[in-house]
Structure 1
Amino acid sequence: MLDPLEPWGLDLKDYHTELKIPGSPERCVSRSVVEDTKGRLWLLERIASGQTSHRRNIAQSLNLLGKAGLTRLLEYRQDVHGEFISEIMGFYWQLSPFFKSDILPRPDYISEGQRGTELAAFLGELYSLSEVAGLSDRAPMDDLNGFISNFLDKVADFQPGILATIKSYAESILPVISACNQLPQKFCHGDFHPLNVLWRGQCAGAVIDWEFCGVRTELYDMANLIGCAGFEHPDALENKFVLSFISGMKASGIQSSSIELLPVFTAALRFAWLSEWLRKKDREMLAMELDYIALLLDNREKYKKIWMNAFN
């Protein structure tokens, strides 16, 4: 039987089915934790043939970030031929270190400021070192205005009863997206939130799930993290985790004028979740998401004041 670690010059000792694998299982066909004969743990992922080009780009980006000095990465290991993806009997595989971590206490973490400070420091390092790595010079990833316009067309076809509500939200959001598009562009993680961080205590040990990394407006990762924390519990939007995170982001070079756009831009990124709930036909989550976007927009001035105070 072929040793699954042989393409990377390693020898298999054991599988560890008892270990819980963090991150989204939807990112690959299958995944497992394996141990080599030197006692090191690895995450072995099988990916679909259609993922190979994108996954190779991600691996190359992480490799460049690592060479530039960014820590807390779980870089993909190159095989004996120097490739980030290995083909075995017609299937495609990637290998990366497995990181043992602590469970994130949900929702208690929203009152833990150190976690927010940790994640702000990581983003600051990502933004500066991605420039060193040459990643910030790449073309911007996506057109959020276009995404929302296309989403409105889908709503008109499948959920016309909520179209008026969503259109009213879009009218508030689209001008802010256009303003955000004029802000400095950064190489972003793309799905930055507390569950995509592997924690040891309140320290960020590693950041995972780089599936959506690329160049976007400098507010993108901030808004995504804040939006996810607030959806978990609205109190998070004015609690220590978020406020410490915003305060820590000042060191990254983001201007206070950008922070003024943050509440509405946070609402804008929730349209991706609206699209997901619509795709899954999850009416309950769709309704919750609409309520959350309304909360962000109705209280935009309140959050702008609170977040500006934290930033300054």
Structure 2
Amino acid sequence: MNTLFEKFSLTFERQRSDLEISGSPERCIDRLVVEDADGTLWLVEKLKEAQADWRNTVGTLLSQLHEKNVPYIHTPAQTADGNTIVIHENNPYQITPFIIGTDLPRPEYCADKERGQRIGDFINALQSAGKQISTPERSTPPLPEYVAETVKTIKLHRPDITQKLSPILPLLDSFFSEHDSIPLALAHGDCHPLNIIWHNNEVAGVIDWEFTGEKIVLYDAANCIGCVGIEHPNWLINGLVPELIATLYTKNKLFAANIHHLIPTVIALRFAWLSEWLRKQDTEMQNMELDYMRLLATSRQEIESFWKQRYTMQ
């Protein structure tokens, strides 16, 4: 560990196994928290070889966003030549400031309007900064392509689920016919409230940027809305979600102009979760996800009406 830290011009002091690490452990081979000689805490990640180039690209992006004063950005340590990845003991490593926060109260956080405003302000700042810098291309397939491939696999292996998707697919077909006309903007790519480190109601930092890139302007908001609404459908029209939408609608002209595509975007993004439950053979979560997607499709007008009442009050 001493040698690794020296490559970043830092001095290793001790490992901090007493600190719990947020975010998904599946995004690296191994990770741990370390304290340097100045008392600064770092998250040390041992990466797969295939991750190195992209994670270095993401590290550079975070540095640029920090320079543009985007809030809640914590930049990885850099070597003398500006790289955020070093090879240590034949593996790529990246070290990033470790952010201490407080536990997100679930599901109580869904009722918190202030959190919705904070997330909306972050998305707006990120998209604004993205117009001023060279942003990486999208790191995930376009939604129409991803959903089509997922549906094809479901039809082949799970025809029983295909029938349950019947209320959803016509809506998505209509959405995808217009998808390419929706403006692109820089996105975090996995804007889940659990990928935000909170200090009480304030944002301390945003983590897990592996899926960042240019995506449709609704992407981050839709991802967040989908993750909040799955806690209980009531949270689609109360608390965090309407405040998030109102914050974006009143401050982001591109978002406002395309808001009619928001619910189809939420549904399309839920296919990644459905795929996860199918892979894990989790029947309970498969059924919950399908029920949620159908509710979004069949109750679209009612949900949008609640949202409109909120954002037109601004």
Corresponding residue of 1:289: 289
Q: Confirm or deny: 8 A CA contact 1:72 1:204 kept in the other structure.
A: yes
1:213 to 2:218 alignment: no
Q: Confirm or deny: 8 A CA contact 2:167 2:298 kept in the other structure.
A: no
- Listed as ranges, the matches of 1:48-87 within 5 Å are 48-87=48-87
State how many pairs are aligned.
311
SS of 1:277's partner is helix
Note the C-alpha offset of 1:178. 3.0
Note the C-alpha offset of 1:56. 1.4
Taking structure 2 as the reference length, what is the TM-score of the superposition? Answer: 0.94
Q: Confirm or deny: 8 A CA contact 2:66 2:74 kept in the other structure.
A: no
- Listed as ranges, the matches of 1:40-189 within 5 Å are 40-135=40-135, 138=137, 142-189=141-188
Note the C-alpha offset of 1:260. 1.9
Corresponding residue of 2:189: 190
- Greater CA drift, 22-31 or 80-89: 80-89
Q: Confirm or deny: 8 A CA contact 2:150 2:275 kept in the other structure.
A: yes
Quickly say closer, same or farther: Cα 1:255–1:98, change in 2 above 3 A: closer
Q: Confirm or deny: 8 A CA contact 1:198 1:208 kept in the other structure.
A: yes
Note the C-alpha offset of 1:311. 2.2
- Greater CA drift, 169-178 or 30-39: 169-178
| Deviation sequence 1:229-254 (CA, Å, 0-9, x none) | 00122221011111111111121223
| Deviation sequence 1:138-170 (CA, Å, 0-9, x none) | 568532112122112211222122112224422
User: What is the rounded CA distance, in whole Å, between the counterparts of 1:305 and 1:191 in structure 2?
Assistant: 26
Q: Confirm or deny: 8 A CA contact 1:41 1:98 kept in the other structure.
A: yes
User: What is the rounded CA distance, in whole Å, between the counterparts of 1:307 and 1:176 in structure 2?
Assistant: 19
Quickly say closer, same or farther: Cα 1:304–1:181, change in 2 above 3 A: farther
2:9 maps to amino acid: G
Q: Confirm or deny: 8 A CA contact 1:188 1:216 kept in the other structure.
A: yes
The runs of at least 4 aligned residues of structure 1 exceeding 3 Å deviation read 1-4, 138-141, 254-257
User: What is the rounded CA distance, in whole Å, between the counterparts of 1:275 and 1:127 in structure 2?
Assistant: 28
1:28 to 2:28 alignment: yes
2:196 maps to amino acid: V
Q: Confirm or deny: 8 A CA contact 2:139 2:211 kept in the other structure.
A: no
| Deviation sequence 1:25-57 (CA, Å, 0-9, x none) | 111001000001111100000000111121111
Q: Confirm or deny: 8 A CA contact 1:184 1:217 kept in the other structure.
A: yes
User: What is the rounded CA distance, in whole Å, between the counterparts of 1:139 and 1:27 in structure 2?
Assistant: 18
Q: Confirm or deny: 8 A CA contact 1:177 1:268 kept in the other structure.
A: no
- Greater CA drift, 46-55 or 247-256: 247-256
Quickly say closer, same or farther: Cα 1:284–1:302, change in 2 above 3 A: same
Q: Confirm or deny: 8 A CA contact 1:177 1:265 kept in the other structure.
A: no
- Greater CA drift, 22-31 or 260-269: 260-269
Note the C-alpha offset of 1:64. 1.7
Quickly say closer, same or farther: Cα 1:139–1:23, change in 2 above 3 A: closer
- Greater CA drift, 296-305 or 77-86: 77-86
1:18 to 2:25 alignment: no
| Deviation sequence 1:250-285 (CA, Å, 0-9, x none) | 212235442222122211211111111112222221
User: What is the rounded CA distance, in whole Å, between the counterparts of 1:176 and 1:156 in structure 2?
Assistant: 20
Corresponding residue of 1:223: 222
SS of 1:42's partner is strand
